[in-house]
Structure 1
Amino acid sequence: MKKLSVLLLSLLPLSIAWADADAVLERHCTACHIQGVGGAPALNDKDAWAPRIATGVDAMTATVLKGKGAMPPKGTCFSCTDEELRAAVERMIEPLR
């Protein structure tokens, strides 16, 4: 029982990080990325995301931080930390890999 408790507690930060990433995606990313508005690649468009994913999460996060095209810096999440935005990027591309 103790080992199970330790295991579950060790997974807690990961589940919190994913929950935070999901909240950032829902509030700040999906408005444009759900349908590909304003040149944003749609969330389910593997072909559009492939060249972006190939640049790596660091490069993608840098793009989010500075903005691109119609996307403002930080994708409108001005209160988000760099780490929260990186987690959101990772969460966004996870199903596309």
Structure 2
Amino acid sequence: MLASRVRLCFSAILIIAALVGCSGERGSTESLGTAEQQHKAAELLYKQNCKVCHAQGINGAPIVGNKKMWADRLPQGVDVLVKHAVEGYGLMPAKGGKDHLTEAEIRQIVEYYVAMAN
């Protein structure tokens, strides 16, 4: 009887551990450590939120990876670029119209843009 209770408890613990390990994430990347992981996380945020305009240059949005389009922007520095993205700039609305994005996520995206332009 005791052995079956121990097995039952052990099975329950394994199931709970498996469920916790498989829990969904909202897309936050704060726990990622390596530069490669952070780059991939930023790329995913870009694809999910910014690609529509920044892949095609809609309304003058600088295309990711286009060094010529980023040449005048890069010297402004990441902080200014983040401020523009958060507050809106030119035809781009604040946060690119993606109000759910945090400033930290926007910073990740901007840093991704800068890395792709270098």
Q: TM-score range by the shorter chain?
A: 0.7 to 0.9
- Would you tell me which structure has more helix in proportion to its own residues? 1
Taking the TM superposition and a 5 Å limit, the aligned residue runs for 1:38-57 are 38-57=59-78
Gaps of 5+ in 2: 1-30
Structure 1: gaps (5+ residues): 1-10
| CA–CA distance in structure 2, aligned partners of residues 44 and 92 of structure 1 | 7
Q: 1:12 Cα shift? A: 4.1
Of 106, 114, 117, the residue aligned with 1:85 is 106
State how far apart, in whole Å, the 1-side matches of 2:93 and 2:63 are. Answer: 17
Structure 2 length-normalised TM: 0.65
Amino-acid identity (%): 32
4+ residue runs over 2 A deviation: 11-20
Sort the Cα spacing of 1:19 and 1:71 in 2 relative to 1 into closer, same or farther, 3 A: same
State the match for 2:49 in structure 1.
28
Contact 2:64 2:116 in 1 (8 A): no
Alpha carbons 1:24, 1:77 under 8 Å: kept: no
Q: TM-score, normalised by structure 1?
A: 0.77
Q: Kindly indicate whether structure 1 or structure 2 has the higher relative contact order, using CA contacts under 8 Å at least 6 residues apart.
A: 1
Q: Which of the two has higher C-alpha Rg?
A: 2
The structure-2 alpha-carbon separation of the partners of 1:39 and 1:18, relative to structure 1 and needing over 3 Å to count, comes to same
Tell me by how many angstroms 1:75 deviates.
Answer: 1.2
Decide whether the 8 Å contact of 1:20 with 1:84 is kept in 2.
Answer: no
